[in-house]
């Protein structure tokens, strides 16, 4: 018998209550499509992943690639979706998951598989006891505490609706047994659909069904925008706790938003109202000041970012560098000890160690068609309001005069003026102001 375990992820739902033209599995959670989280978890536990999608869900298929996708051409219920996903499986065991349960942890998924693998169990399923059971299906147990069946809320009696143990949806069994049970269920219910949960009663007839309980925080389903927001709050709380455990200081944890792939070291300090997107590494001792936005960047030891700074993908800030208020860096390397403290944009740039970028300076990296690079050497001083028109190179220890437009390379140690000479007209300032005031008086 094969030991391979396959995860079948049911993701064909269109999410009517989401009021969106995108599939439910593509709704954003923690900066990623909802299904991304479940796939990342499943990859830690199973050998293979198959995703069941609906017709016309090409974007979803691309998102889950390179994992296998199969199309459920008719939406006839969760039982039909599971059968569609298993058509290509021959042996091993399968764990059936739902794309709208993205916060399931690897530990709980492993417990589900371990319970199924015990000799006395044929089917294992996940249950929870939410604070408000609401419209979840109820897990019905017998006098001996053994699982007998699952009843969907719409089909449940008043007594069954009072049961607090709710179905979380996920279950695991051998492929051959799942196929047999799925072939025997019928759409005789309030929805006229094939319920996956009906296989529980079939398995119970063999006397071997186990329920693994998890928490509402990781098992609650997402069916609306409100539930999506609640899931985001749960995810962020989980990520904040992880950051704190790794030695970071969060001044106001509730106002900091992380991506699941954030890499964070000890003694990092993050001030309030910081947003961290995908692909961010924060090395030891760096400080991220309030109202900063980071994505796709590396912030090395002792760096200070912000407040009100934006680091875009491809940016690396080396040891001891400073990025100040209202400064934006894109695809830029800021050398060790270099500073860009005020009101600047630096795109597609390489800046050497110990350089200073004056307030209001920018690199003009885009000509309307192509992107071009700017190279600034070590120990340079870029005067305030310098416009550097790429492609351009500024040599080590060079300077630019404030207000310059630099269109040619600047040799090392040179001082570059890129502005017209000032010409003072005696008395003309006062005369011009008087003329303007007279016009204003005349309307």
Residues 90 and 187 in one domain: yes
Q: How far apart are CA 10 and CA 100, in angstroms?
A: 9
- Residue 407 belongs to a domain: yes
Instruction: Give a yes or no: residue 226 inside a domain.
Output: no
Is 342 marked active-site?
A: yes
Q: Is residue 103 in some structural domain?
A: yes
Residues 305 and 206 in one domain: no
Residues forming beta bridges with residue 52, ordered by sequence position: 10, 70
- Domain check: are 193 and 322 in the same one? no
Q: Confirm whether 244 is domain-assigned.
A: yes
If one counts every other C-beta atom within 10 angstroms of the C-beta of residue 423, the result is 5
Q: Write out the chain's pLDDT in tens, 443 residues.
A: 458 999 999 999 887 888 888 999 999 999 999 999 999 999 999 999 999 999 999 999 999 999 999 999 988 999 999 999 999 898 899 999 999 999 999 999 999 999 988 665 689 999 999 998 888 899 998 888 788 888 888 888 999 999 999 999 899 999 999 999 999 998 887 778 898 988 998 998 886 888 999 999 999 889 899 999 999 999 999 999 999 999 999 999 999 999 999 999 999 999 999 999 999 999 999 999 999 999 999 999 999 999 999 999 999 999 999 999 999 999 999 999 999 999 999 999 999 999 999 999 999 999 999 999 999 999 999 999 999 999 999 999 999 999 999 999 999 999 999 988 888 999 998 998 999 999 999 98
CATH number, domain with residue 353: 2.160.10.10
Per-residue model confidence (pLDDT) at position 1: 46
Is the same domain home to 167 and 268?
no
Residues 66 and 105 in one domain: yes
* Residue 424 is assigned to a ligand binding site: no
Q: Is 356 marked within a binding site?
A: yes
- What pLDDT sits at residue 119? 60
353-367 in b/e form (b: 16+ CB < 10 A) is bbbbbbbbbbbbbee
Print the domain residue range for 77: 5-219
Residue 212 maps to a domain: yes
Residue 10 labelled as part of a binding site? yes
- Opening angle at CA 12, ends 218 and 204, nearest 5: 60
Is 367 in contact with 349 (CB distance < 8 Å)? no
Whether 424 is in a domain gets the answer: no
Phi, then psi, of 54 in degrees rounded to 5: -95, 170
Could you say which of 67, 80, 318, 342 is catalytic? 342
Q: Work out the number of other CB atoms within 10 angstroms of the CB of residue 233.
A: 12
398 is in an annotated binding site: no
Structural domains counted in the chain: 2
What size, in residues, is the chain?
443
Q: Was 155 annotated as part of a binding site?
A: no
CA dihedral 260, 261, 267, 270 (to 10 degrees): -60
312 is in an annotated binding site: yes
CA–CA separation, 123 vs 180, rounded Å?
13
Distance CA 289, CA 303 (A): 11
Query: Do 155 and 257 sit in the same domain of this protein?
Result: no
Q: Does 393 share its domain with 307?
A: yes
| pLDDT given at position 23 | 92
Among 177, 73, 355, 115, CA closest to 346: 355
């Amino acid at each position: 018998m094969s030991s391979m375990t396959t995860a079948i992820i049911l993701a064909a739902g269109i999410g009517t209550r989401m009021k969106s033209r995108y599939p439910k599995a593509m709704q954003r959670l923690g900066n990623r499509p909802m299904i991304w989280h479940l796939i990342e978890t499943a990859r830690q536990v199973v050998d293979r992943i198959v995703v069941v999608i609906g017709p016309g869900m090409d974007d979803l298929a691309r998102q889950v690639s390179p994992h296998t996708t199969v199309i459920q051409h008719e939406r006839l219920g969760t039982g039909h979706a599971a059968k569609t996903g298993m058509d290509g499986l021959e042996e091993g065991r399968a764990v059936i998951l739902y794309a709208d349960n993205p916060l399931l942890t690897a530990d709980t998924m492993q417990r589900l598989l371990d319970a199924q693998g015990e000799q006395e169990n044929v089917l294992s399923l996940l249950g929870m006891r939410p604070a408000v059971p609401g419209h979840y299906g109820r897990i019905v147990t017998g006098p001996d505490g053994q699982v007998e069946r699952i009843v969907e809320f719409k089909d449940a009696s008043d007594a069954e609706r009072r049961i607090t143990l709710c179905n979380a949806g996920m279950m695991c069994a051998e492929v051959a047994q799942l196929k047999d049970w799925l072939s025997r269920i019928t759409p005789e219910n309030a929805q006229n659909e094939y319920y996956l949960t009906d296989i529980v009663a079939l398995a119970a007839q063999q006397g071997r069904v186990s329920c693994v309980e998890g928490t509402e925080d990781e098992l609650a389903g997402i069916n609306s925008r409100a539930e999506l927001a609640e899931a985001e709050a749960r995810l962020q709380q989980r990520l904040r706790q992880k950051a704190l455990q790794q030695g970071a200081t969060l001044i106001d944890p509730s106002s900091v938003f992380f991506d699941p792939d954030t890499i964070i070291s000890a003694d990092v300090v993050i001030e309030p109202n910081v947003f961290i997107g995908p692909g961010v590494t924060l090395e030891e001792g760096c400080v991220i000041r309030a109202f900063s936005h980071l994505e796709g960047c590396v912030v090395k030891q002792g760096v200070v970012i912000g407040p009100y700074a934006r680091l875009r993908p491809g940016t690396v800030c080396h040891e001891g560098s400073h990025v100040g208020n209202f400064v934006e860096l894109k695809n830029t390397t800021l050398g060790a000890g270099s500073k860009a403290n005020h009101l600047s944009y630096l795109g597609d740039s390489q800046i050497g160690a110990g350089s200073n970028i004056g307030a209001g300076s920018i690199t003009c990296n885009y000509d309307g068609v192509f992107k071009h690079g700017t190279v600034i050497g070590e120990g340079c001083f870029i005067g305030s309001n310098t416009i550097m028109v790429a492609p351009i190179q500024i040599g080590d220890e060079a300077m630019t005069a404030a207000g310059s437009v630099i269109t040619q390379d600047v040799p090392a140690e040179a001082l570059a003026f890129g502005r017209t000479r000032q010409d003072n007209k005696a008395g003309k300032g006062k005369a011009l102001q008087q003329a303007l005031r007279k016009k204003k008086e005349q309307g």
